[in-house]
Every structure is written in structure tokens, then in C-alpha cells.
Amino acid sequence: MSAVMIIRKPTRKWEKLPGKNTFCCDGRVMMARQKGVFYLTLFLIVGTCSLFFAFECPYLAVHLSPAIPVFAVLLFIFVMAMLLRTSFSDPGVLPRALPEEANFIEMEIEAANGNVLAGQRPPPRIKNVQINNQIVKLKYCYTCKIFRPPRASHCSICDNCVDRFDHHCPWVGNCVGKRNYRYFYLFTLSLSLLTIYIFAFNIVHVVLREYRSKKMFHVVSLTPHCTVLEVLVCFFTIWSVVGLTGFHTYLISLNQTTNEDIKGSWSGKNRVQNPYSHKNIIKNCCEVLCSPTFPSVLDRRGVMLEDSSSPTHSDASAASTHKSSNPVSQTTKSSAPLIPNEHTPDEAKPGIGAGTQKSTSSPKGEKPPSPTSPNAVAPAVIKESTH
Amino acid sequence: MSSPFHNLQELRHSASLANKVFIQRDYTDGTVCKFQTKFPSELDSRIERTLFEDTVKTLNNYYAEAEKIGGQSYLEGCLACLTVYLIFLCIETRYEKVLKKISRYIQEQNEKVYAPRGLLITDPIERGMRVIEISVYEDRGSSGSSSGSSTTSSSGR
């Protein structure tokens, strides 16, 4: 009788998380599923900066100052760091309610609604909360089975409720929410500076070459083409990124999110003022940019306990653990950086928020219930037999 | 009424879960993390109101301390920005430090106050900072005269 050595690799919680996220590095990195536009962003930034460092910087360092490429490198590092931080971090995803909590909330709702006659539509699930003397409505999320906290919203692309949801940005391949909004803002701000910087010094470079190399015409034939390419990329980028930075600066000074701005939550028509604003620009900026960094409540890297059965999710989107990237074609236009979130239905649709999914191209989650671990390295790994 | 449990281990081994009570968030001050101090009726016979309110108020104070925007948070924010947020690989953020204090406090409260009464508090961070979950245990020997028999509680947690 031979003894079989069983090496059990611990199942980490990220493997069982519902929602349409991709996880890398054993749960350390969290992104949306569609990453094509993010790769484009990376390519544009790295490509343009590489051309700048390769062709313009040597000339400018010699003829003007070596501080120019040094500052460009620092700015480039900052831009990349902010981009990666925005893309890879948890935006503030709210975990779905476990069955006991969901039942408790259901009971509270039924108790509050009283008796609904058969055939009648039950009233919409809304809680009214008074915040700073304004009445704010909290909506019930049928997918996550919770009443969403104020300013939270459900992202239909990632299929998660996100706290202080701003928007889903395909350029960074992730939602922008409470935890990564400041990195997103710093990314757009530093990218604006970098683009303007490269654009300006390209112009300077061309002008200098015009005046200096009248005698010695040894210009490398490739350089003018690269300069033109960089100028074009920067020119178009400046318009969009600087505009976006300006827009977000405006939002920050008013302590609003893009989502609230689009929906016109505080536009004043209904006389509801923004209850979160401190009515002071400096205080608003400080709260958004300098508040303490909020930790992730998702616990992606926690180890799943073997004796506890995973909570049964009534919706079918439980198996989103595959790292395989199937770049699904987005139905949204690539020029529009903003993707609106779902609107909860007025009628009671228990269990599934199916009628409000905006991205219809992605599969609805009809996947086999047992997830395969992408990190299986040992040949004798036994996975949990339960789903 | 006082139940025969004296410590956390005894509670876990010899009691069965009867019910769970969820203390919801209080949003009247905005989006800061704060829990309602309203005493739930299901705990009426299990614990004194003042003890419960003290626990929730202390937790609220801890969260307020963690989310306070002041000199220290500015310093942390600026320093982090200058180091491209790499400094968080070395040091803990203030919020994380306070969360550790909270978890120690909850552990202590469970041992001293709640377990002897057959109750157990779950750290809100494990529930997405949405609720404080209080599990109500019944002695396995007693017949099913639990306080919330109308609720369906899922077994096997």
C-alpha cells in the first residue's frame, strides 16, 4: 500500500469572489476583465516617452540643460506609478451580503412594507436617510443584496458595488472609486504635465535644430519623423487629458463624483444641495486628496477556511475566477471615457439585476462551478471538491 | 438571563448558533463609518443596554479617530505622494493601525462581556464595514426556545 503525498494549496478568497474582476499575482492585483484599452494607454505613454528619451533628450541635454531629461524621467516614473496604482488596486468594492445578512434585510423590508396584496407590485426598495439636513435615498442592490451606502453605486461592467463610485474608466482598466480616486486624479494631473512638457520640448527641439544646424546638416533622418509623431500624440492627448484634469479638479472642489454629476443629483432642481460638501473649496480638496487611505474590505489574500462551505450565491456570477483574458469587444465607443452605472429597476426583481446590465456582450456567468486554480504548480495538488 | 458560558472556547464548542443580529450603519453624519446605537429588541433578554451602547460608542470613536482629517493625515498623504506611495510598503497607514486596535478591542469585549452572555461580535471589517454582526448562541442542551425562532438562520457557519 503506497502512501500518497497530498500537497494541498490553500484556496485564497479572491478565487471565490463574485463579480467580473480579474486577479493577478495571487490576489494582489485586481482589475476589470476588459484590459485592451489599458494596454493601449500603456503603449502610448511608454512609446511616446521612449521616443522622447531616445531622440530629443540627448540633443536637449547637451544644448540646453541636463535637468530636462532628468525631470522628464521623474515625471514619467510618477505617471506610471499612479497609473499602475489606479489600475491594480481595489477601488472600494463592497462585498456582497452573506445569506444571513441578506435574509435579515429582506425581513426588515417585508416588515416595513406591510401586506402587499397578491398581484400588486411591491414598492421600490428605498431607504430614506437624513444626512446633514438633506434627505438622501439609499437604493437596494438586487445583485449584492444590500442597501447601498450613500455615494456607492453598482458598476455593471465589474458587477460590483463600489463605494464612492466615480466612473468605470477603460483607459485604466478598472473602476474609479473611493480607494483609488486620488491616484486617478494624480495620474491625469501628472500625465497632463508630462504631455505638455514633451510637447513643449519637442517644439523647442525643432526650433533649435532649425537655427543651429544650418551649417552642419547631420540630422539623423529618423528624428524629424519621431518628433512629428510625438507632437501629434501629445497634441491630441493634451486636449482630452487636460480637459479631464480640469473637470475632476472642478468635481473635487465641489466634493462631487462623476456619477453624481452625470445624474444631476445635486443640480439644484429639486433643491437638494450636496450634503457632503463642506462649502469650502480647500476643505473639499483636503477631504478628497488628503483623507486617510481606506483599507480594502475585500480580503483577497485571506485563506478560505476548509470546513466552512462557501456561501451559496443565488446569482450565477459566482465563478469569475478565471484569469484567462478574453478581450470582449466593448459596446461603448472608445472615445468616451465614461461608462454609466446600472440603474436599479423599480419593480422587485429578486436575486438578479439582469434587466439592467449595460454590457451585454460579456457572458452572463454560465461557467462551471468548480474554479480551476491558475497557479497550480505542484502535480499533486488537490483542489477543494466543494464549489 | 445569564447563560452558563464562561469563555469563548466553551461558547464555540458547546453552543449552537440560534440567531444573528445585524447593527446597521448610521449615515446621519455623512459617509464616515458610524454604527447605530439603537438597542435591538432581539438582545433584550441577553445583555444590558448600557453595555451594548458602550461597545458601539467606543467602536464609533475608534472609526472617527481613524478617519479624522487633520495634521497627521495631511503629513501621511504628502509624504506618501512624494515617495510615489512606496512608503506604504514599509509603514502601516494610520487606518490600519486603528483597525488593529479595533480588532483587539472586539476580542477583549467578546471575552469579557459577550461570551459569558452567549453572544459573539464579528469585526465589521469582515462584513465590508456595513454591519456589526452579533451572533446569538443557545446552549445545546436547552430546547429550541431561542429568541428569534421565526428567522431562518443558516447552520454550519
pLDDT digits (tens, 9 = 90+) for B77-130: 888 888 888 888 888 888 999 999 999 999 999 999 998 888 999 999 998 899
Q: What is the pLDDT of residue B143?
A: 46
Q: What is the pLDDT of residue B46?
A: 86
Taking the CA of residue A179 as centre, how many other CA atoms within 13 Å lie in the half-sphere pointing to its CB?
21
Given an 8 Å threshold on Cβ–Cβ distance, is A107 in contact with B131? no
Given an 8 Å threshold on Cβ–Cβ distance, is A131 in contact with B88? no
Name which of B72, B85, B95 to mutate to probe chain A: the one with the most chain A Cβ atoms within 10 A of its Cβ.
Answer: B85
Given an 8 Å threshold on Cβ–Cβ distance, is B74 in contact with A286? yes
Is some CB atom of chain B closer than 8 A to the CB atom of A138? yes
pTM value surpassing 0.80: no
Residue given cell 455623512 in the structure block? B30
Q: Please list the pLDDT of chain A residue by residue as tens digits (387 residues).
A: 666 666 677 788 888 888 888 888 888 889 888 899 999 999 999 999 999 999 888 888 888 889 999 999 999 999 999 999 999 999 999 999 988 889 888 888 888 777 666 777 777 788 888 888 888 889 999 999 999 999 999 999 999 999 999 999 999 999 999 999 999 999 999 999 999 999 999 988 888 887 776 654 454 455 677 888 888 889 999 999 999 999 999 999 999 999 988 888 877 666 678 888 888 888 888 888 888 888 888 888 888 776 544 443 333 333 333 333 333 333 334 344 455 454 444 444 443 333 333 333 333 333 333 333 334 334 433 333 443
**Residue A184 in contact with residue A86, Cβ under 8 Å?**
yes
Amino acid present at A179? R
Q: What is the pLDDT of residue A206?
A: 86
Distances (CA, A) of A369 to A308, A322, A383, A386, B57: 17, 11, 13, 9, 42
Cβ neighbours of A297 in B, within 8 Å: 125, 128-129
Given an 8 Å threshold on Cβ–Cβ distance, is A131 in contact with B29? yes
| Residues found in chain A | 387
Where does residue A91 rank: exposed (0-12), middle (13-18), buried (19+ CB within 10 A)? buried
